[in-house]
């Protein structure tokens, strides 16, 4: 975390706080034994809350360095509870609960701002039901559902189905605990619960606090078993989502939120729809749009191929509302502008192509480095030098400047590195000339 920036082009001083990961980077081998044995499971932010991770974890598989870290907000040891499992299991002796933050002072010639972006919060558009309807997800959540390394291993399962599967596990665990309580009563009174209940209801066993508790426990177990069986029967019919609706411009091109186009959303939805179709030929994908903006070389042909070869449906019309039926299937309500008719479409899963927004806290970064922001809260750049900020020697790339896709971000990163190299080379030459003049005065 950057705490302070001083200096000027060719001679910046940057104060950086390196957060403690409570794992020694030099010793950790990345084997994962600690995470495997960790007893604490929490929602995984990288998986958009659709999957879980442990209190000791790697942020994502391709992270560099490939070293684990401990989340002190969830780790039992840091919460004052008895644990220390990861320290006991780690053969490399890499766990260090006493590790502290380090403050580093870096001398640099140039700075590149690559702050990324935030997703538009779709709950701000209440008529789409995001956060309220289980099977309405945003584009990044769908990305993780369709990813082979995601929480569902690439199978596009509905969040409502995932919720019910987790509910089954929870109910099974609770039922097992309740059954153990019944076993204690049976052992104490040397009688099966079924025989006891039959005699109790027939009036052959007198009332008593303990017997009433036994009866109540048995009735609760019986009801819980019935509900669990119903849930399991319903879960057996679950299938992957094959009818998909992609809703474009959620938070983009909207005067209420962001006036600009996020540029990559249309192609992202088309790509995800094509991948879903490749994964399961039964997939029917509908992409609702005001107009599709395929920004990039060859992208228009890609869009056409999606319709002609894979049967993607491009529906011209802005979605007005999303509701759901009794099976939690989203119902898309829209006006098809070509026919000027109000229609509805029931699907398995609705995917909101949310806007790309400047990240939270970008104002603080701008203040630290002294760079100006534009009216959309992205870093302001020179019209003829789109990577140069308002401060010489400080450059941007990717979504720090505005919404761009991955190829454009990679190209900008290379360009920004080249611009930074120019500054460093020039500074080196100037330093060399100054040093030579000091040694060889005229």
DSSP class per residue in 294-314: --STTHHHHHHHHHHHH--EE
Q: Residue 368 in contact with residue 15, Cβ under 8 Å?
A: no
- Environment class of residue 96 by beta-carbon count within 10 Å: exposed (0-12), middle (13-18) or buried (19+)? middle
Q: What is 119-156+241-357's CATH topology?
A: FAD/NAD(P)-binding domain (3.50.50)
Q: Two tokens at 362?
A: 């970008």
* Predicted pLDDT of residue 344: 96
Q: Two tokens at 274?
A: 């094509």
Helix spans in 90-158 (H): 139-146
pLDDT mean across residues, the chain: 92
* Predicted pLDDT of residue 438: 60
* Predicted pLDDT of residue 128: 97
* Predicted pLDDT of residue 296: 85
| pLDDT category of residue 391 using cuts at 50, 70 and 90 | very high
Q: Which residues contact 14 (CB under 8 A, 6 or more apart)?
A: 2, 4, 5, 105, 106, 108, 111
- Per the listing, tokens 């903006």 go with 293
* Predicted pLDDT of residue 210: 84
Give, for 8, the enclosing helix (H) or strand (E): strand 2-8
What residue spans define the domains of the chain? 19-105, 119-156+241-357, 160-235, 362-439
User: Which tens digits make up the pLDDT trace of 341-373?
Assistant: 999 999 999 999 999 999 999 999 999 999 999
* Predicted pLDDT of residue 439: 58
Rounded CA-CA distance 284/286 in Å is 7
Q: Span 19-105: which CATH code?
A: 3.30.70
User: Which tens digits make up the pLDDT trace of 60-85?
Assistant: 878 888 899 999 999 999 999 999 99
- Environment class of residue 412 by beta-carbon count within 10 Å: exposed (0-12), middle (13-18) or buried (19+)? buried
Query: Average pLDDT in the 26-43 region?
Result: 93
User: Which tens digits make up the pLDDT trace of 267-291?
Assistant: 999 999 999 999 899 999 999 999 8
Q: Residue 403 in contact with residue 251, Cβ under 8 Å?
A: no
Q: Residue 3 in contact with residue 102, Cβ under 8 Å?
A: no
Going by the DSSP 8-state scheme, the letter that residue 255 receives in this structure is T
Do 19-105 and 119-156+241-357 agree at the fold level? no
Q: Residue 15 in contact with residue 26, Cβ under 8 Å?
A: no
DSSP 141-191: HHHHHHSTTSTTTT----HHHHHHHHHHHHHHHHHHHHHHHHHHHHHHHTS
Cα-Cα end-to-end distance for the chain: 47
| Torsion region of 335: left, alpha or beta (phi above 0 gives left; psi -120 to 50 gives alpha) | beta
Rounded CA-CA distance 241/253 in Å is 29
């Amino acid at each position: 975390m950057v705490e302070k920036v001083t200096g000027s082009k060719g001679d910046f001083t940057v104060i950086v706080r390196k957060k403690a990961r409570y794992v020694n980077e030099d010793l950790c081998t990345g084997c994962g034994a600690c995470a495997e044995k960790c007893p604490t499971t929490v929602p995984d932010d990288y998986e958009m809350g659709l999957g879980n991770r442990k209190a000791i974890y790697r942020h994502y598989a391709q992270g560099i360095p490939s070293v684990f870290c401990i989340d002190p907000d969830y780790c039992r040891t840091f919460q004052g509870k008895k644990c220390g499992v990861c320290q006991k299991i780690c053969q490399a002796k890499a766990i260090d609960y006493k590790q502290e933050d380090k403050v580093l002072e870096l001398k640099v010639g140039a700075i590149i701002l690559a702050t990324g972006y935030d997703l538009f919060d779709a709950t701000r558009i209440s008529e789409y039901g995001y956060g309220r309807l289980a099977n309405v997800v945003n584009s990044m959540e769908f990305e993780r559902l369709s990813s082979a390394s995601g929480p569902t291993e690439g199978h596009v399962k509905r969040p409502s189905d995932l919720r019910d599967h987790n509910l089954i596990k929870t109910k099974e665990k609770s039922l097992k605990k309740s059954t153990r309580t019944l076993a204690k009563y049976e052992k104490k009174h040397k009688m099966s619960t079924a025989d006891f209940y039959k005699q109790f209801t027939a009036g052959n066993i007198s009332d008593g606090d303990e017997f009433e508790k036994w009866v109540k426990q048995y009735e609760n177990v019986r009801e819980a078993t019935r509900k669990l069986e119903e849930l399991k029967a319903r879960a057996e019919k679950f299938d992957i989502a094959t009818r998909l609706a992609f809703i474009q411009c959620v938070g983009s091109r909207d005067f209420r939120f962001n006036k600009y186009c996020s540029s990559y959303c249309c192609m992202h939805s088309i790509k995800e729809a094509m991948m879903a179709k490749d994964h399961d030929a039964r997939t029917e994908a509908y992409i609702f749009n005001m107009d599709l903006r395929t920004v990039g070389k060859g992208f228009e042909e890609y869009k056409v191929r999606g319709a002609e070869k894979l049967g993607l449906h491009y529906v011209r019309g802005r979605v007005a509302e999303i509701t759901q039926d009794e099976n939690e299937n989203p119902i898309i309500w829209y006006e098809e502008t070509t026919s000027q008719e109000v229609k509805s479409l029931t699907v398995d899963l609705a995917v909101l192509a949310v806007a790309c927004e400047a990240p939270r806290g970008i104002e603080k970064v701008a203040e630290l480095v002294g760079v100006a922001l534009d009216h959309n809260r992205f870093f302001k750049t020179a019209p003829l030098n789109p990577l140069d900020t308002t401060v010489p020697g400080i450059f941007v790339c990717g979504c720090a400047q505005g919404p761009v896709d991955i190829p454009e971000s990679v190209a900008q990163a290379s360009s920004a590195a080249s611009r930074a190299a120019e500054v460093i080379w020039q500074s080196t030459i100037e330093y060399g000339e100054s040093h030579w003049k000091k040694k060889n005065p005229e």
